[in-house]
Amino acid sequence: MPTHATFRTLQATWLENALRQYAALSEPGPGVSRLAYTRLERQAHELFAGQLAELGIASYTDAAGNTIGELPPNAEPRPGAIGTGSHLDSVPHGGAYDGVVGVVGALAVATAAGAHDRPRHHPWRFVAFAAEEGARFGQACNGSRIVAGLTGAADLHQLTDSTGTTIAAAMAECGLAPHDAEAARWDARDWSAFVELHIEQGTVLQDRRVPIGLVDTVSGSTRLRVSLTGVASHTGGTPMDGRHDALATAAECVLGCERLALAAAEVNTRITVGSLTVEPGAITIIPGRVVFTVDVRETDHGRQRTATDAVSGHCRAVAGRRGVDIEIEELADTPPVDLSSEVRSAAGDAAAGLGLDAVVIPSGASHDTQQISRLTEAGIVFVPSHGGLSHSPDEFSTAEQIADGTAVLLETMYRLDARR
C-alpha cells in the first residue's frame, strides 16, 4: 500500500475531478440542483455504476433506486459485508460536496483496495443511496430507510412533493419499482459493518483545526407541515381589527419557533422554518392561506418530541387567538441514533495511524448511516466544511481534506475487515 502522503497526493486530484463530474449533473442555476427521484439523480447513479465497472466491479440498482457494487474478498472469506457510501441527490441550489464526497470516497477506496493485495476477508460493498435529502418529499433518507425496513411500499404513496407527485409516482417515472420496495430490504445477517465519509456541515473541525471528526450521535428530526387558513379580503376595504390574516399568523408562529429554540440553547434543540407559501399572493389581497414547514432537530428523542409538542401548541394558540384555522401534519419523525463505538474506535485508530488528529462530535444533520445503524454496526467520518456552510452553493471542502478522510475511511475498513 502507498504511504499516506503518496495516497493523499494521488487521490486529491482524482477526487477533485470526480466531484466536478457529479456537479455538472444539475439543473440550471447556482449550485447543484439534483433532486430525489429525478432524471438527473438517475444519471448520477449511472455515472457511479460506470465508474465501478471501470474498476471491474459489477453493480446493480435495486427497487428503491440505490446502486450497489461489491468487491469480493481476496483472502480466507468471513461472513458479512463491510460497506461504505453516501447519496447523490441534492437540495435545490445546494453544494457539490454533501453526500457526493462519500460516494467518490467509496470509489477511491474501491480503487485502492482492488489495486493492492492486502488481505480482505469480507466482501466490500460500495453504495450510492437514493433520495437522501428530504427537500422534495419532506422525508429524508428514503433509499436507506427502505433497505432498513423503515419505509414500505405503501408508505411511498403517502408523501408528495409541491406538485402533488407521490414518491411512488416519481420512482415509477424514473423506471424504478415502488411496488416492489420490500424486495430491496437488506438482511442484517449479510452485513458486518458500514462506515460513511461525509463533510461535517458545521464548524467544529475548522474551529479546532482538526482534520477528522468521529461521529458518536446523529440528531433526530421531526418534520411538520403547518397549514393556516384565514380569510382573503381587500387590503383597503378590510379594517385592521377585523382581519383573519394567515400570513401575519404565520409570522408570529415562525418567530415563536425561533424563540423556543433559543430558549433551549444549552442543549441541542434546533427549530427551523424552511419553506413558506402564501395564497393568493397578490399585493392587494390579505393572505387567506399559508403553508409552512418546520424541522425540529435534537440529539435526545425526548427533547425532540417535547420541542415538537411545544411548536404545535404555540402555533395552535396563535391561530386560535387570531381566528385562523390550523392543520398540523407530521411528515416524518426520525429519532436520534448513537453510532457504533467499535466502528468509531477503528476510525480513531486509523486516523492516529495516519498521523491525523481526530475529535468525537455529534452530527446535527441526518445521514443514511443513521438508518443503516439499525441493521449493522455503523459509523461516520467527517472532514471539515469551510465556514460550516452546507446546502448552499458556497459549500466547500478542499481536495486534500477529502483525501485525508478517504485515507481514514480506507484504513478503517481494513481494520474492521481484520476483526474476528
H/E segment holding residue 16: helix 4-23
Residues in Cβ contact with 46 at an 8 Å cutoff, skipping those fewer than 6 apart: none
- Give the three cell numbers for residue 75: 483472502
What is the model's pLDDT at position 5?
66
Rg (CA), the chain: 23
Q: Transcribe 47-67 into DSSP letters.
A: HHHHHHHHTT--EEE-TTS-E
What is the model's pLDDT at position 334?
87
* Collapsed DSSP state (helix, strand, coil) of residue 299: coil
**Residue-level pLDDT, tens digit, the chain, 420 residues:** 555 666 676 688 999 999 999 999 999 999 999 999 999 999 999 999 999 999 999 999 999 999 999 999 999 999 999 999 999 999 999 999 999 999 999 999 999 999 989 999 999 999 999 999 999 998 899 999 999 999 999 999 998 998 999 999 999 999 999 999 999 999 999 999 999 999 999 999 999 999 999 999 999 999 999 999 999 999 999 999 999 999 999 999 999 999 999 998 667 899 999 999 999 999 999 999 999 999 999 999 999 999 999 999 999 999 999 999 999 999 989 899 999 999 999 999 999 999 999 999 999 999 999 999 999 999 999 999 999 999 999 999 999 999 999 999 999 999 999 987
- Give the three cell numbers for residue 389: 456552510
Task: Tell me the H-state helices in 116-245.
Answer: 142-147, 167-173, 204-208
What is the model's pLDDT at position 267?
77
Predicted TM-score (pTM) above 0.95: no
Question: Would the CA dihedral through 77, 79, 84, 86 be positive or negative?
Answer: positive
Closest alpha carbon to 414 in 215, 9, 124, 188: 124
Please, are residues 307 and 264 in contact by the beta-carbon 8 Å criterion?
Answer: yes
Question: Would the CA dihedral through 179, 182, 183, 184 be positive or negative?
Answer: positive
Q: What is the DSSP letter of 363?
A: E
Please, are residues 44 and 22 in contact by the beta-carbon 8 Å criterion?
Answer: yes
What is the model's pLDDT at position 400?
95
